[in-house]
Chains A and B, each alone.
Chain A
Amino acid sequence: MSDLIATVPFMLLLTTGTYLLGNYIYNKSGISILHPILISIITIIGVLKWFDIPYEVYAEKSSLIDFLLGPSVVALGYTLYEQINYIKGKVITILTSVLVGSFVGVISVITICRLMGVEECIIASLEPKSVTTPIAVSLASRSGGIPALTAIVVVVCGIFGSITGPFVLKTMHIKSKVAQGLAMGAAAHGLGTARAIEMGAVEGAISGLSIGLMGIMTSLLIPLLEMLFR
Protein backbone atom coordinates (compact mmCIF):
# COMPACT_ATOMS: atom_id res chain seq x y z
CA MET A 1 0.00 0.00 0.00
CA SER A 2 2.64 2.55 1.01
CA ASP A 3 4.40 1.76 -2.29
CA LEU A 4 1.42 3.34 -4.00
CA ILE A 5 1.05 6.18 -1.51
CA ALA A 6 4.66 7.31 -1.60
CA THR A 7 4.59 8.13 -5.32
CA VAL A 8 4.73 11.42 -7.22
CA PRO A 9 1.17 11.22 -8.63
CA PHE A 10 -0.39 10.48 -5.24
CA MET A 11 1.56 13.14 -3.36
CA LEU A 12 0.73 15.78 -5.98
CA LEU A 13 -2.92 14.67 -5.96
CA LEU A 14 -2.95 14.81 -2.16
CA THR A 15 -1.53 18.35 -2.22
CA THR A 16 -3.80 19.89 -4.86
CA GLY A 17 -6.80 17.80 -3.73
CA THR A 18 -6.64 18.86 -0.08
CA TYR A 19 -6.05 22.46 -1.21
CA LEU A 20 -9.20 22.35 -3.37
CA LEU A 21 -11.08 20.81 -0.45
CA GLY A 22 -9.75 23.61 1.74
CA ASN A 23 -10.90 26.20 -0.78
CA TYR A 24 -14.34 24.61 -0.91
CA ILE A 25 -14.74 24.57 2.88
CA TYR A 26 -13.36 28.11 3.15
CA ASN A 27 -15.80 29.47 0.54
CA LYS A 28 -18.81 27.51 1.84
CA SER A 29 -18.31 28.30 5.51
CA GLY A 30 -17.09 31.89 5.11
CA ILE A 31 -14.96 31.40 8.24
CA SER A 32 -11.64 33.10 7.61
CA ILE A 33 -9.73 30.94 10.13
CA LEU A 34 -10.40 27.92 7.89
CA HIS A 35 -7.71 29.11 5.46
CA PRO A 36 -7.38 26.64 2.55
CA ILE A 37 -3.66 26.11 3.20
CA LEU A 38 -4.32 25.29 6.86
CA ILE A 39 -6.87 22.59 6.01
CA SER A 40 -4.50 21.24 3.35
CA ILE A 41 -1.45 21.09 5.65
CA ILE A 42 -3.31 19.44 8.54
CA THR A 43 -4.92 16.83 6.27
CA ILE A 44 -1.59 15.99 4.60
CA ILE A 45 0.21 15.65 7.96
CA GLY A 46 -2.62 13.34 9.07
CA VAL A 47 -2.32 11.16 5.97
CA LEU A 48 1.49 10.96 6.24
CA LYS A 49 1.31 10.02 9.94
CA TRP A 50 -1.39 7.43 9.22
CA PHE A 51 0.71 5.68 6.56
CA ASP A 52 3.93 6.29 8.49
CA ILE A 53 5.58 8.21 5.65
CA PRO A 54 8.43 10.55 6.68
CA TYR A 55 8.30 14.22 5.66
CA GLU A 56 11.42 13.86 3.51
CA VAL A 57 9.58 11.41 1.21
CA TYR A 58 6.64 13.79 0.87
CA ALA A 59 8.95 16.77 0.24
CA GLU A 60 10.78 14.88 -2.51
CA LYS A 61 7.65 13.63 -4.26
CA SER A 62 5.82 16.96 -4.10
CA SER A 63 8.86 19.06 -5.06
CA LEU A 64 7.12 20.24 -8.27
CA ILE A 65 4.66 22.29 -6.22
CA ASP A 66 7.40 23.69 -4.00
CA PHE A 67 9.34 24.66 -7.14
CA LEU A 68 6.41 26.69 -8.51
CA LEU A 69 6.82 29.17 -5.64
CA GLY A 70 9.85 30.63 -7.46
CA PRO A 71 8.09 31.20 -10.83
CA SER A 72 5.07 32.64 -9.02
CA VAL A 73 7.29 35.28 -7.38
CA VAL A 74 8.77 36.07 -10.83
CA ALA A 75 5.21 36.35 -12.22
CA LEU A 76 4.49 39.11 -9.68
CA GLY A 77 6.68 41.28 -11.93
CA TYR A 78 3.85 41.15 -14.47
CA THR A 79 1.16 41.92 -11.88
CA LEU A 80 3.18 44.96 -10.83
CA TYR A 81 3.50 46.12 -14.45
CA GLU A 82 -0.27 45.80 -14.89
CA GLN A 83 -0.93 48.10 -11.92
CA ILE A 84 1.92 50.55 -12.49
CA ASN A 85 -0.46 53.53 -12.64
CA TYR A 86 -1.26 53.14 -8.96
CA ILE A 87 2.38 53.40 -7.96
CA LYS A 88 3.23 56.53 -9.95
CA GLY A 89 3.97 59.42 -7.60
CA LYS A 90 3.97 57.11 -4.57
CA VAL A 91 7.44 55.61 -4.84
CA ILE A 92 8.91 57.60 -1.94
CA THR A 93 5.98 56.92 0.42
CA ILE A 94 6.01 53.20 -0.46
CA LEU A 95 9.75 52.90 0.19
CA THR A 96 9.41 54.78 3.50
CA SER A 97 6.49 52.68 4.74
CA VAL A 98 8.19 49.37 3.98
CA LEU A 99 11.51 50.52 5.45
CA VAL A 100 9.82 51.52 8.72
CA GLY A 101 7.81 48.26 8.66
CA SER A 102 10.96 46.18 8.23
CA PHE A 103 12.69 48.09 11.05
CA VAL A 104 9.71 47.66 13.41
CA GLY A 105 9.51 43.96 12.49
CA VAL A 106 13.13 43.13 13.35
CA ILE A 107 13.31 45.37 16.46
CA SER A 108 10.05 43.98 17.87
CA VAL A 109 11.28 40.39 17.45
CA ILE A 110 14.55 41.18 19.25
CA THR A 111 12.77 43.08 22.05
CA ILE A 112 10.08 40.49 22.75
CA CYS A 113 12.62 37.65 22.63
CA ARG A 114 14.84 39.48 25.14
CA LEU A 115 11.90 40.08 27.46
CA MET A 116 10.92 36.42 27.29
CA GLY A 117 14.50 35.20 27.71
CA VAL A 118 14.66 33.33 24.41
CA GLU A 119 18.01 31.93 23.28
CA GLU A 120 20.11 33.80 20.71
CA CYS A 121 19.83 31.13 18.01
CA ILE A 122 16.05 31.29 18.23
CA ILE A 123 16.15 35.09 17.95
CA ALA A 124 18.28 34.76 14.80
CA SER A 125 15.76 32.26 13.40
CA LEU A 126 12.82 34.60 14.02
CA GLU A 127 14.25 37.97 12.90
CA PRO A 128 13.47 37.50 9.18
CA LYS A 129 10.03 35.92 9.80
CA SER A 130 8.02 38.36 7.66
CA VAL A 131 10.23 37.91 4.60
CA THR A 132 9.59 35.48 1.75
CA THR A 133 10.94 31.94 2.46
CA PRO A 134 14.11 31.86 0.29
CA ILE A 135 15.36 35.21 1.66
CA ALA A 136 14.37 34.40 5.25
CA VAL A 137 16.18 31.07 5.26
CA SER A 138 19.43 32.54 3.91
CA LEU A 139 19.24 35.45 6.38
CA ALA A 140 18.68 33.09 9.32
CA SER A 141 21.63 30.88 8.46
CA ARG A 142 23.81 33.96 7.93
CA SER A 143 23.10 35.22 11.45
CA GLY A 144 23.38 31.87 13.25
CA GLY A 145 19.74 30.77 13.31
CA ILE A 146 18.09 27.41 12.58
CA PRO A 147 16.96 27.50 8.92
CA ALA A 148 14.35 24.73 9.39
CA LEU A 149 12.68 26.67 12.21
CA THR A 150 12.73 29.84 10.11
CA ALA A 151 11.05 28.10 7.17
CA ILE A 152 8.23 26.94 9.45
CA VAL A 153 7.81 30.26 11.24
CA VAL A 154 7.68 32.09 7.90
CA VAL A 155 4.81 29.90 6.71
CA VAL A 156 2.96 30.15 10.05
CA CYS A 157 3.41 33.93 10.02
CA GLY A 158 2.10 34.05 6.47
CA ILE A 159 -1.01 32.06 7.35
CA PHE A 160 -1.56 34.10 10.51
CA GLY A 161 -1.07 37.41 8.71
CA SER A 162 -3.33 36.49 5.80
CA ILE A 163 -6.12 35.44 8.18
CA THR A 164 -5.92 38.29 10.70
CA GLY A 165 -4.48 41.04 8.46
CA PRO A 166 -7.82 42.18 6.97
CA PHE A 167 -9.25 42.58 10.52
CA VAL A 168 -6.32 44.74 11.62
CA LEU A 169 -6.72 46.91 8.50
CA LYS A 170 -10.46 47.22 9.13
CA THR A 171 -10.03 48.07 12.84
CA MET A 172 -7.54 50.80 11.96
CA HIS A 173 -9.79 52.18 9.18
CA ILE A 174 -7.11 51.80 6.54
CA LYS A 175 -8.95 52.35 3.25
CA SER A 176 -6.21 53.05 0.69
CA LYS A 177 -5.73 50.09 -1.66
CA VAL A 178 -2.00 50.76 -1.84
CA ALA A 179 -1.71 50.85 1.97
CA GLN A 180 -3.70 47.61 2.34
CA GLY A 181 -1.65 45.72 -0.24
CA LEU A 182 1.62 47.05 1.11
CA ALA A 183 0.77 46.00 4.68
CA MET A 184 -0.34 42.48 3.65
CA GLY A 185 2.81 41.82 1.64
CA ALA A 186 5.14 43.33 4.26
CA ALA A 187 3.75 41.24 7.14
CA ALA A 188 2.76 38.00 5.41
CA HIS A 189 4.82 37.77 2.14
CA GLY A 190 3.33 35.46 -0.53
CA LEU A 191 0.46 34.24 1.62
CA GLY A 192 -0.51 37.83 2.42
CA THR A 193 -0.28 38.54 -1.31
CA ALA A 194 -2.55 35.59 -2.13
CA ARG A 195 -5.10 37.16 0.22
CA ALA A 196 -4.48 40.66 -1.17
CA ILE A 197 -5.21 39.36 -4.70
CA GLU A 198 -8.63 38.27 -3.39
CA MET A 199 -9.15 41.83 -2.11
CA GLY A 200 -8.44 43.32 -5.54
CA ALA A 201 -5.97 43.60 -8.43
CA VAL A 202 -4.30 46.76 -7.09
CA GLU A 203 -3.90 45.36 -3.57
CA GLY A 204 -2.43 42.16 -5.05
CA ALA A 205 0.12 43.93 -7.23
CA ILE A 206 1.27 46.29 -4.48
CA SER A 207 1.52 43.36 -2.10
CA GLY A 208 3.80 41.58 -4.56
CA LEU A 209 6.01 44.65 -4.72
CA SER A 210 5.99 44.76 -0.93
CA ILE A 211 7.41 41.19 -0.70
CA GLY A 212 10.43 42.20 -2.76
CA LEU A 213 11.02 45.49 -0.94
CA MET A 214 10.59 43.92 2.49
CA GLY A 215 13.07 41.19 1.52
CA ILE A 216 15.67 43.64 0.28
CA MET A 217 15.32 46.04 3.22
CA THR A 218 15.33 43.34 5.87
CA SER A 219 18.47 41.81 4.31
CA LEU A 220 20.16 45.19 4.81
CA LEU A 221 18.72 45.95 8.25
CA ILE A 222 19.39 42.68 10.09
CA PRO A 223 23.22 42.89 10.02
CA LEU A 224 23.02 46.56 10.98
CA LEU A 225 20.61 46.03 13.91
CA GLU A 226 22.55 42.97 15.07
CA MET A 227 25.66 45.10 15.39
CA LEU A 228 23.75 47.58 17.54
CA PHE A 229 21.61 45.31 19.69
CA ARG A 230 23.27 41.92 20.05
Chain B
Amino acid sequence: MIKGITIILLFYFLGECLSFLIHGWIPGSVCGMVLLFLSLMINWINPHSVQPVAGALTKNMALFFVPAGVGLMTSFDLISKYWAALLVIISITTWLIIAVVGWLQETMEKKNI
Protein backbone atom coordinates (compact mmCIF):
# COMPACT_ATOMS: atom_id res chain seq x y z
CA MET B 1 0.00 0.00 0.00
CA ILE B 2 2.63 2.51 1.14
CA LYS B 3 4.87 1.26 -1.67
CA GLY B 4 2.11 1.93 -4.20
CA ILE B 5 1.45 5.42 -2.82
CA THR B 6 5.19 6.18 -2.90
CA ILE B 7 5.53 5.02 -6.51
CA ILE B 8 2.55 7.13 -7.64
CA LEU B 9 3.87 10.20 -5.78
CA LEU B 10 7.38 9.61 -7.17
CA PHE B 11 6.07 9.59 -10.73
CA TYR B 12 3.86 12.61 -10.04
CA PHE B 13 6.98 14.45 -8.85
CA LEU B 14 9.10 13.23 -11.79
CA GLY B 15 6.24 14.39 -14.05
CA GLU B 16 6.32 17.82 -12.39
CA CYS B 17 10.10 17.97 -12.97
CA LEU B 18 9.66 17.11 -16.65
CA SER B 19 6.83 19.64 -16.94
CA PHE B 20 9.11 22.29 -15.43
CA LEU B 21 11.80 21.52 -17.99
CA ILE B 22 9.35 22.02 -20.88
CA HIS B 23 8.01 25.25 -19.28
CA GLY B 24 4.67 23.78 -18.21
CA TRP B 25 3.68 23.03 -21.76
CA ILE B 26 2.24 19.69 -20.60
CA PRO B 27 1.14 19.48 -16.92
CA GLY B 28 3.06 17.33 -14.45
CA SER B 29 0.27 14.82 -13.89
CA VAL B 30 0.07 13.96 -17.60
CA CYS B 31 3.89 13.71 -17.82
CA GLY B 32 3.78 11.46 -14.75
CA MET B 33 1.18 9.24 -16.43
CA VAL B 34 3.42 8.78 -19.48
CA LEU B 35 6.53 8.14 -17.35
CA LEU B 36 4.74 5.55 -15.19
CA PHE B 37 3.42 3.82 -18.30
CA LEU B 38 6.89 3.69 -19.90
CA SER B 39 8.51 2.41 -16.67
CA LEU B 40 5.95 -0.39 -16.47
CA MET B 41 6.56 -1.27 -20.13
CA ILE B 42 10.32 -1.67 -19.65
CA ASN B 43 9.78 -3.62 -16.38
CA TRP B 44 11.35 -1.00 -14.12
CA ILE B 45 8.31 -1.08 -11.88
CA ASN B 46 6.53 -4.19 -10.68
CA PRO B 47 2.88 -3.77 -11.74
CA HIS B 48 1.63 -5.61 -8.63
CA SER B 49 3.07 -2.94 -6.35
CA VAL B 50 1.07 -0.11 -7.96
CA GLN B 51 -2.11 -2.05 -8.80
CA PRO B 52 -4.11 -1.55 -5.52
CA VAL B 53 -3.42 2.19 -5.23
CA ALA B 54 -3.80 2.89 -8.96
CA GLY B 55 -7.10 0.97 -8.99
CA ALA B 56 -8.48 2.87 -5.98
CA LEU B 57 -7.51 6.26 -7.46
CA THR B 58 -8.86 5.71 -10.98
CA LYS B 59 -12.12 4.07 -9.88
CA ASN B 60 -13.07 7.18 -7.88
CA MET B 61 -11.77 9.90 -10.19
CA ALA B 62 -15.07 11.79 -10.36
CA LEU B 63 -14.88 12.53 -6.60
CA PHE B 64 -11.68 14.54 -7.11
CA PHE B 65 -13.52 17.00 -9.35
CA VAL B 66 -16.00 17.96 -6.62
CA PRO B 67 -13.97 20.86 -5.08
CA ALA B 68 -13.43 22.44 -8.54
CA GLY B 69 -17.12 21.98 -9.31
CA VAL B 70 -18.16 23.74 -6.10
CA GLY B 71 -16.23 26.71 -7.55
CA LEU B 72 -19.37 27.24 -9.65
CA MET B 73 -20.74 29.26 -6.72
CA THR B 74 -18.13 31.98 -7.28
CA SER B 75 -19.04 32.44 -10.94
CA PHE B 76 -22.81 32.85 -10.77
CA ASP B 77 -22.51 36.42 -12.18
CA LEU B 78 -20.43 35.39 -15.16
CA ILE B 79 -22.61 32.35 -15.80
CA SER B 80 -25.89 34.25 -15.59
CA LYS B 81 -24.53 36.75 -18.11
CA TYR B 82 -23.42 34.14 -20.66
CA TRP B 83 -25.64 31.17 -19.80
CA ALA B 84 -27.25 30.89 -23.23
CA ALA B 85 -23.94 30.93 -25.09
CA LEU B 86 -22.35 28.56 -22.58
CA LEU B 87 -25.24 26.11 -22.84
CA VAL B 88 -25.14 26.02 -26.64
CA ILE B 89 -21.35 25.79 -26.85
CA ILE B 90 -20.95 23.12 -24.17
CA SER B 91 -23.67 20.85 -25.52
CA ILE B 92 -22.96 21.15 -29.25
CA THR B 93 -19.17 20.93 -29.07
CA THR B 94 -19.20 18.07 -26.54
CA TRP B 95 -21.55 16.01 -28.71
CA LEU B 96 -19.55 16.91 -31.79
CA ILE B 97 -16.28 15.67 -30.27
CA ILE B 98 -17.83 12.41 -29.04
CA ALA B 99 -19.48 11.79 -32.41
CA VAL B 100 -16.42 12.64 -34.51
CA VAL B 101 -13.85 10.75 -32.41
CA GLY B 102 -16.10 7.69 -31.90
CA TRP B 103 -17.21 7.49 -35.51
CA LEU B 104 -13.73 8.02 -36.96
CA GLN B 105 -12.13 5.39 -34.72
CA GLU B 106 -14.92 2.86 -35.35
CA THR B 107 -14.77 3.39 -39.13
CA MET B 108 -10.99 3.10 -39.29
CA GLU B 109 -11.07 -0.09 -37.20
CA LYS B 110 -13.70 -1.66 -39.47
CA LYS B 111 -11.67 -0.86 -42.55
CA ASN B 112 -8.54 -2.22 -40.85
CA ILE B 113 -6.50 0.88 -41.45
Contacts and interface: CB of A to CB of B under 8 A. Distances in A.
B99 A172 contact: yes
B51 to A, nearest CB: 7
Given A73-B29, A93-B113, A212-B30, A168 B95 contact: yes
Nearest to A108: B93
Interface in B74-90: 74-75, 78-79, 82, 84-86, 88-90
A46 to B, nearest CB: 10
Given A78-B54, A105-B93, A160-B91, A98 B101 contact: yes
Contact of B94 (A48, A63, A157): A157
Interface in A148-196: 148-149, 151-162, 164-165, 168-169, 172, 174-176, 178-180, 182-184, 186-188, 190-191, 193-195
A105 B97 contact: yes
Contacts of A148: 71, 74-75
Contacts of A84: 41
A84 B53 CA distance: 19
A55 B92 CA distance: 30
Contacts, number: 311
A50 to B, nearest CB: 12
Interface of A: 15-16, 18-19, 35-37, 40-41, 44-45, 48-49, 55, 58-59, 62-63, 65-66, 68-82, 84, 90, 92-94, 96-98, 100-101, 104-105, 108-109, 112-113, 116, 118, 122, 126, 129-130, 132-135, 138, 146, 148-149, 151-162, 164-165, 168-169, 172, 174-176, 178-180, 182-184, 186-188, 190-191, 193-195, 197, 204, 208, 210-212, 215-216, 219
Interface of B: 8-9, 11-12, 15, 24-30, 32-37, 40-41, 47, 50-51, 53-55, 57-75, 78-79, 82, 84-86, 88-106, 108-109, 113
